[in-house]
Structure 1
Amino acid sequence: MYDRLVHLASVSLAKIEFKQEKSSLWKEPYLQASGWVPCADGNVVSDLGKFDKTNGYIVVSANGGLNQQRVAICNAVALASLLNATLVIPRFLYSNVWKDPSQFGDIYQEDYFMNTLKDDVHIVKELPSYLKSVDLEAIGIQITDADIAKEAKPTDYIRTVLPLLLQNGVVHFLGFGNRLGFDAIPFNLQKLRCKCNFHALKFTHKIQQVGSLLVKRIRKYEAAKSMLDKQLLGNFIDYVASKEDKVVGGPVKYLALHLRFEVDMVAYSLCDFGGGEDEKKELQAYREIHFPLLIERLKKSRTISSTELRMSGRCPLTPEEAALVLAGLGFKHRTYIYLAGSHIYGGNSRMRTFTNLYPNLVTKETLLTPSELAPFQNFSSQLAALDFIACASADVFAMTDSGSQLSSLVSGFRTYHGGGNAPTLRPNKKRLAAILSENKTIGWKTFGDRVSKMIEEGQRSRTRGFGRSIYRHPMCPECMCKSH
């Protein structure tokens, strides 16, 4: 789609390959990012006598994939505290999309989770025997996402759920997708959500061990580089460099990229990606099978052209566009790039421009041996946990879709534990579309300057705004403290 710009990028990368790289590429551009430090790990002040008597048990069956379920867990912790209830370790619903039977203990360390939060909320692994045989749906205490508004307020739960809890001793939330808002929430509940997300949820030793192999093999270095490594990998990474590491001279820097260009995202967007009639037929067939409600809605609405969609920032970035952004910023041809996510729509042919510009592209499938990957096959959430580790530990993390749950949670984790040294790149799709619309005439220097300005403005350190996710924007008094 952008042959001329790709050629200019290739020429530019060849010119700068042996020049001194801009050190600013690997640094946070704003000092304010280092002015906040983590402080949600202390005990959350609770009401006097809170644990003398519980109001009952909260059971949560969370839907979605790894990252949606992570949010549901921490929302459930806050809700249990709000209602003075005992939380049963959440269960994960099997999804026909994710096709992963993993449960909490397959992904997170249960005992660590319970111990970290033991002074804040009462948590048990299962319901007591007298409640196990109760049909929760039959007696009207199963609450679905249709019963509770998205991003509901605490008062909604106190008004509608607490009476059920007091009457029956247990309530069951089925789905629980984004069912607790971000404002107005009591300070202590927000802090508890942060403590849950940034401190209590540790991946299992199995995931940490293999995650450490990913990071070590990309860096060609055995020791931890930052607090992020220690938080994510625990005892599976050395804290002091070995003699061999010191001889090598330091770790290889790498950029992690979450390239959200899977077929579901591509089909749902309704955008044109230059694949002609074959692409249009293929994506329409996918929509008819997987998105019937979208098809019905389209029949009743005005057709919006692909150009309109792209210029309004509603089209996912292609691998080609992502590569042009990185080249425009000045990342060199030999930069090591970890690619997160599942199958890219269009496969190797769609990735060809990207790999021509950036051949040092690695994935968990290329870094790990078949025997190392085998225990994770058919467990998409556990594979996503490996991506989470590789992305959060990266020297630079780049996303192509700021609405992605993985990108959202990884960027928040890096803000919280990164010490102001964990830059994240967030292209503004609307602004980028405007720049790329001039692809037939724009000069490479102008392209690079405009892309750099767009990314830099997206990196401004901002405290959490009203209604914004505390998991994505932890820079706020409930989660972090000012260091000066």
Structure 2
Amino acid sequence: MAKSARTFNTSCIAMNPSFLLHLISVSPFSTPKKTSRNRQQPSLPLIFFLSLWSLSALLGICSLAFYTISHSPITCSLLPSSSPLLFASLSSVFHDSTLPLPPQGPPPNPNISAAERDFWSQPDAEGYRPCLGFSLDYRRSSAKISKERRRFLVAVVSGGLNQQRNQIVDAVVIARILEAALVVPVLQVNRIWGDESEFSDIFDLEHFKKTLQSDVRVVSSLPSTHLVPKQSVENQMPFHVSPLWIRARFLHQLNEDGFLILKALDSRLSKNLTPDLQKLRCKVAFHALRFASRVQQVGNQIARRMWIEGPYIAVHLRIEKDVWVRTGCVTGLGDAYDTIIANERRSNPDFLTDRLNITKPARRLAGLCPLSALEVARFVKALGAPSNARVYIAGGEPFGGRRALQALVDEFPNVATKETLARDGELEPYVNRSSILAAIDYIVSLSSDVFVPSHGGNMGRAMQGHRAYVGHRKYIRPNKRAMIPLLEDGSVPEEELSRIVRKVHKYSMGQPELRSRKVDRDVLAYPVPECMCKQ
């Protein structure tokens, strides 16, 4: 986009068919019409000149259209939302493997209830579409920044897949702020899962470089002329710092040494940046960070196996062992399981991440605990999901195994996971690669008609923003503070529970919500209005 000489309102050019027919009609390859003898015939050189000029103009328009579309990260919707099958067929023509499968909506059954029909229906996108039009100043400065060869930023990122994604996004933005080239981020081995995957194992590296080539120069490694002492790693950045703070703190060091190594970037960069930098965040997250082709292929295959049988719900069920340890909550599986978690927490007191001085019952009532499988089942049923609904469970190995899932399976027998959907050997290369397995969950969840997270976290926020970006697909965030007392009260009839739950969540089912309504909201979870606008 920085290379474009002029600014266009959209990246899609709609050509007038009559104009094209006119150009073809005056070409030397068209059949001449019969003319009256009295009418003067134009000379042959003039016809040749006009035809040549017309063909040149046509080629120029086509080249300009192709260049604008291929170099723009803006997603353009030229089809009505009511034609998902046509959209799916065109997606296959364009070979865009990163697009989710289209939502299917309510099953074609006239006898389904109003609650079920409402559950499967998609929210109104209100005309919002992705729009990443950078300012003229941003594009002017890109010419220099994208060619930087003296200063380099190295980012060491940690955590699970979505935590890594967030830090990679901010690393790109920090490199842009410092006008430095970005070395491909280093993925730190996770101490919980032991995943040793590198960037190129999870993400499409060449696509990452190409997509950002007009924003930041991305290189595979530091030049051999740059010697890196151990003490050069910076890991003491405060939370939510501004671009001004980053320049004041690191610019001199970067100019002196020629490189800067940053570690522990999670939530270090402010959520409130200039519109251009917010757009850059969206460009990295929703366009540049495409999964590696093999990972994307496996994820697409599993997603199609769910999608081909009709609409489905994706539930991110956060009931892994480390989640119970970190949240300080009871598992609901009995004293024996709670004792295991308590012992683990005593052995690793730094794992408990929130409100150390609050009791377990108070923690639960405050909405700080993940919903159990039983609570998710009752919640989804209260919203109108039928018992034959197909449910895809995203997440790691549940603590308690099959027992932890039994309540959900009893209510919704058509439960699937990536393990049950995979064919022989498909997941075998990724047995010890938790980030790649999480990427497969991400792909399948993005294509679901409805997504429900059982607990907050990076995956839930990533799905919220990405589903908004691809068309405001239904995303239901449980209001746990309002629901937990109802779910614990066994005397509340199912009809009354359903009425209250639907009322509480009436305005939180994926409709466009402005990031600017609250301070410090993440643009990757709320891409309106910086990254999406009404067109």
Same fold (TM over 0.5): yes
Indicate whether 1:316 and 2:366 are aligned.
no
- Provide the aligned C-alpha RMSD in A: 2.3
Deviation at 1:415, TM superposition (A): 0.3
Aligned partner (choices 394, 410, 429) of residue 480 of structure 2: 429
Structure 1 stretch 159-168 or stretch 46-55: which is displaced more? Answer: 46-55
Higher relative contact order (CA 8 A, sep 6+): 1
| C-alpha distance in structure 1 between counterparts of 2:345 and 2:274, whole Å | 42
Q: SS at the partner of 2:392?
A: strand
Amino-acid identity (%): 32
TM-score by length of 2: 0.74
Aligned partner (choices 121, 129, 132) of residue 40 of structure 1: 132
- Residue identity opposite 1:93 in structure 2: Q
Aligned partner (choices 287, 310, 323) of residue 252 of structure 1: 310
Aligned position for 1:28: 122
| C-alpha distance in structure 2 between counterparts of 1:322 and 1:293, whole Å | 25
Instruction: Provide, for residues 100-152 of structure 1, a one-character-per-residue CA deviation record: whole Å limited to 9, x for no partner.
Output: 11111111111111111111111111111111xx13334xx3211xx211221
Aligned position for 2:506: 456
Structure 1 stretch 17-26 or stretch 343-352: which is displaced more? Answer: 17-26
**Matched residue pairs, number?**
420
Deviation at 1:47, TM superposition (A): 1.8
Q: Quick one: structure 1 residues 387 and 41, their matched pair in 2 at CA, closer, same or farther if it must change by over 3 Å?
A: farther
Aligned position for 1:244: none
Aligned position for 1:104: 199
Aligned position for 1:74: 169
Deviation at 1:267, TM superposition (A): 2.8
Deviation at 1:286, TM superposition (A): 1.3
| C-alpha distance in structure 2 between counterparts of 1:375 and 1:278, whole Å | 34
Structure 1 stretch 427-436 or stretch 33-42: which is displaced more? Answer: 33-42
Indicate whether 1:343 and 2:394 are aligned.
no
> Which of 1 and 2 has greater Rg?
2
| C-alpha distance in structure 2 between counterparts of 1:75 and 1:156, whole Å | 15
Aligned position for 1:469: 522
Aligned position for 2:252: 163
Unaligned segments of structure 1, at least 5 residues: 1-15, 221-250
Deviation at 1:392, TM superposition (A): 0.8
Instruction: Provide, for residues 11-63 of structure 1, a one-character-per-residue CA deviation record: whole Å limited to 9, x for no partner.
Output: xxxxx99744632212234x3x3421012277952427524655610011111
Aligned position for 2:221: 126
Deviation at 1:404, TM superposition (A): 1.3
Aligned position for 1:291: 349
| C-alpha distance in structure 2 between counterparts of 1:92 and 1:383, whole Å | 16
- Residue identity opposite 2:230 in structure 1: E
Deviation at 1:294, TM superposition (A): 4.5
Deviation at 1:433, TM superposition (A): 1.1
TM-score by length of 1: 0.82
Aligned partner (choices 249, 257, 266) of residue 324 of structure 2: 266
CA contact (8 A) 2:195 2:434 kept: yes
| C-alpha distance in structure 1 between counterparts of 2:110 and 2:122, whole Å | 23
Aligned partner (choices 194, 214, 217) of residue 305 of structure 2: 217
Deviation at 1:274, TM superposition (A): 3.9
Aligned position for 1:368: 422
Q: SS at the partner of 1:268?
A: helix
Q: Quick one: structure 1 residues 151 and 280, their matched pair in 2 at CA, closer, same or farther if it must change by over 3 Å?
A: same
Aligned position for 1:9: none
| C-alpha distance in structure 1 between counterparts of 2:368 and 2:353, whole Å | 18
Indicate whether 1:333 and 2:387 are aligned.
yes
| C-alpha distance in structure 2 between counterparts of 1:297 and 1:35, whole Å | 41
Indicate whether 1:357 and 2:446 are aligned.
no
CA contact (8 A) 1:311 1:434 kept: yes
| C-alpha distance in structure 2 between counterparts of 1:446 and 1:413, whole Å | 33
Deviation at 1:297, TM superposition (A): 8.9
Structure 1 stretch 33-42 or stretch 158-167: which is displaced more? Answer: 33-42
Q: Quick one: structure 1 residues 89 and 46, their matched pair in 2 at CA, closer, same or farther if it must change by over 3 Å?
A: farther
Aligned position for 1:385: 439
Aligned position for 2:234: 143
Q: SS at the partner of 2:505?
A: helix
| C-alpha distance in structure 2 between counterparts of 1:267 and 1:282, whole Å | 9
Structure 1 stretch 317-326 or stretch 329-338: which is displaced more? Answer: 329-338
Deviation at 1:434, TM superposition (A): 2.5
Q: SS at the partner of 2:139?
A: coil
CA contact (8 A) 1:427 1:454 kept: no
Q: SS at the partner of 2:214?
A: coil
Indicate whether 1:405 and 2:494 are aligned.
no
Aligned position for 1:233: none
Aligned partner (choices 293, 302, 306) of residue 205 of structure 1: 293
Structure 1 stretch 165-174 or stretch 278-287: which is displaced more? Answer: 278-287
